[in-house]
Amino acid sequence: MENVKKITIITGHYGCGKTNFSVNYALFLAKTGKKVVVADFDIVNPYFRTADFKELFEANGIKLIAPQFANTNVDIPTINFDLLDIEDDEYLIVDVGGDDSGAVALGRFSSSIENDDYDMLYVINKYRYLMQDPKDSLSMLSAIENASRLRHTGIVNNSNLGTETTAQTVCESFDYAKSLCELSNLPLRYTAAIENIGIDKQAENYFPIKVFVKPVWEK
């Protein structure tokens, strides 16, 4: 993994797996010796938050910042921190709420971020409801950009079927990801798939992941 940016923003459709990718990406950077800060920037969905992994992050030397009242019974957490208040030697990963509604709060920091060294990665899952057509995924990508007032820099193919995911499942998403990359004129930065699934030699920019974010019925 080359040229890691100081700020990496992770966006995507609800249920695409962006939080699980964010957790894996943070752990990977930490293992390379980088000082990592994860910002839970989801003020829309009370479930599947990066704030759920506080202990895991602490065990790996990763700092977590989260909205006030995250992981409580308060319906709408509030952003009570400066997203960009990081040290010069720290790398920030921002897990943004799903869809364009979750990206609205990011717009508050857009003027500062766009002048900084940043990546904004759009996580896709071909098998998510309403996202089976690359054009639908492109429409969501554009809506997130409009809401956040920031532009994406790459695509992360995280296509999966949960516990039913196989190597074939992932391989059958390659054309979908390629089509979206062509439509959006963005590069495929990573193909995120469960480690040891057997696609490391087939997938472009393979990024092995572990499944940390699980539905309640799988825990």
pLDDT digits (tens, 9 = 90+) for 12-52: 998 899 999 999 999 999 999 999 999 988 766 555 567 78
Which of 213, 125, 128, 137 shows the shortest CA–CA distance to 180? 137
Identify the helix (H) or strand (E) that includes residue 103: helix 99-103
- What integer pLDDT is reported at residue 43 of this predicted model? 66
- Of the candidate ranges 26-35, 60-69, 116-125, 146-155, the one whose mean pLDDT is the lowest: 60-69
User: Please, what are the domains in the chain?
Assistant: 7-218 (3.40.50.300)
- What integer pLDDT is reported at residue 120 of this predicted model? 97
Token match 């957790």: residue? 23
Q: Which residue did the predictor score with more confidence, 69 or 93?
A: 93
- What integer pLDDT is reported at residue 54 of this predicted model? 87
**Taking residues 165-184, what's their average pLDDT?**
96
- What integer pLDDT is reported at residue 31 of this predicted model? 96
**Taking residues 52-75, what's their average pLDDT?**
75
Token match 């993994």: residue? 1
- How confident is residue 76, by pLDDT bands cut at 50, 70 and 90? very low
Residue 92's SS3 state is: strand
- What integer pLDDT is reported at residue 56 of this predicted model? 94
- What integer pLDDT is reported at residue 66 of this predicted model? 80
Rounded to the nearest 10°, the torsion over CA 199, 202, 203, 205 is 110
Q: Which residue did the predictor score with more confidence, 96 or 99?
A: 96
Q: Which residue did the predictor score with more confidence, 47 or 152?
A: 152
Which residues lie closer than 8 Å to 136 by C-beta, 6 or more apart?
Answer: 130
